[in-house]
Structure 1
């Protein structure tokens, strides 16, 4: 009798676990990754006072945010917004397309950082600072766009 009870319990837990996994799998996914945010914007003086290693790190952070946001700005710029928020059906095909997009974005970012880590250290500090300021200005513009166009 104990063996039947144990087997029944294990079977029930297994079925419940599979059901839970399926329901999470079918949940709408965020169009823009939730890990894209900038904690601080810098001015020219701050950047000029930084060592080149810190500038390289800032540059790569800004590149990551831009790579993850720009392809999806037609949907807005708020992380956590799902396809369902825009009336896009939460079908298997649409979820797969979004997952493929996220994988392609991640792969592109990793390839870009691999290239940047080898080549970027040879860049001129003034050009690196100008690029960081440009990316930050772009991100500020996107943020203002997001505030004006609430969805």
Structure 2
């Protein structure tokens, strides 16, 4: 099974692209000095202009935050976890610096008129009861996001519900 992290909300959230990742064509990669296997290059059905090569300057930069809208009916998000309709995939590797960026992002999203945002950490392919933690957006801190650190050995689905000042239950 695989770990999956996502954000759920009533409204669309702003996407976040990893600024260090670039997707280029084989022809562009060749211009940059990348060598490819001869059998690939001689295949007549291979489109050398199609952008499908992912490049990044360092392995560490591959772990920067990315948030992508995946839809209102994402197959990856097992039923029973959230009733919110807009699902956004969260790709990152936890660090305090990235957690602070995510805190800033969440505060900006809720300030921009979005109501509660749920941050989920689940195992794909199984639905278990989740641990839910609620926090007001103005009290949200890096320490609240430590529960999303997958290196801590998560065994139970976890949800951090970040709510605007008036929404906390």
Q: Sort the TM-score into its range (normalised by shorter chain).
A: under 0.3
Structure with more relative contact order (C-alpha pairs < 8 Å, separation 6 or more): 1
- Richer in strand (by share): 2
Give the TM-score normalised by the residue count of structure 1: 0.27
Rg comparison, structure with higher value: 1
